[in-house]
Amino acid sequence: MRFSLKLRQSVAVLFCVAGLGLTIPAAFAQSGGNGKPPEPQKPTADTVKEGQKKIDEIAEATRLLTGPAGNPECVWLGRRVVTLLWRDDLDTAFRHLDLYDRFGCPSAHIQATFRCLVRQGNIDPKAQETLNGRVHACWVNPGLEPTPAEAAIQPPPATSGGTTQR
């Protein structure tokens, strides 16, 4: 009986030591080693240029649109909502749409912009145009007509020519 109790205690101690032996090196590996915080990354020229481009696009929309749809917060949130809708991320789009409504932005502008985006058709992966660029163009001008090249890519509407039902 004493031998069995000693054996159980020894096995329990062995498992505890093995468990600590596996977790301590992992904790040291995660700490980074030298104890200094990582240095902040300096913005690159591309990052600065991209940020300036976004600021310019929002300023352009503010200049061209009248009413609340031209407010910077409405432009920023609205374009994000339309982009998320296009990418089928509906949960996130609806959360952004709640914020958009909370700022008093017009929901009809979201609908018109998304309709414009859908009418433009899919974006050709070989083209220079990006989704953000197309969303911006539709945000500024929701009545934008599709270009003839994009209209030629889309299939013609189905007609009922030649077949009859008996």
Rounded to an integer, what distance in angstroms lies between the CA atom of residue 81 and that of residue 94?
Answer: 7
Which position has the higher pLDDT, 153 or 1?
1
pTM: 0.58
Q: Residue 16: what pLDDT?
A: 66
* Letter string b/e over residues 124-160, b meaning 16 or more CB atoms within 10 A of that residue's CB: eeeeeeeeeebbbbbbbebebeeeeebeeeeeeeeee
Which position has the higher pLDDT, 112 or 49?
112
Q: Residue 25: what pLDDT?
A: 61
Question: What SS3 class is residue 65?
Answer: coil
Task: Give phi and psi for 80, each to the nearest 5.
Answer: -65, -40
Rounded to an integer, what distance in angstroms lies between the CA atom of residue 62 and that of residue 39?
Answer: 37
Lowest mean pLDDT: which of 4-8, 35-39, 103-107, 152-156?
152-156
Q: Residue 113: what pLDDT?
A: 94
Q: pLDDT tens digits, residue range 59-103?
A: 887 787 888 888 999 999 999 999 999 999 999 999 999 999 999
Which position has the higher pLDDT, 112 or 51?
112
* CA quadruple 125, 129, 132, 138: dihedral sign: negative
Q: pLDDT tens digits, residue range 14-69?
A: 666 666 666 666 555 555 555 566 666 766 776 777 777 778 878 887 787 888 88
Lowest mean pLDDT: which of 27-41, 106-120, 130-144?
27-41
Q: Residue 151: what pLDDT?
A: 46
Q: Residue 50: what pLDDT?
A: 72
Domain ranges of the chain: 46-143
pLDDT at 120 over 60: yes
Rounded to an integer, what distance in angstroms lies between the CA atom of residue 90 and that of residue 34?
Answer: 44
Per-residue pLDDT band at 2 (split at 50, 70, 90) = low
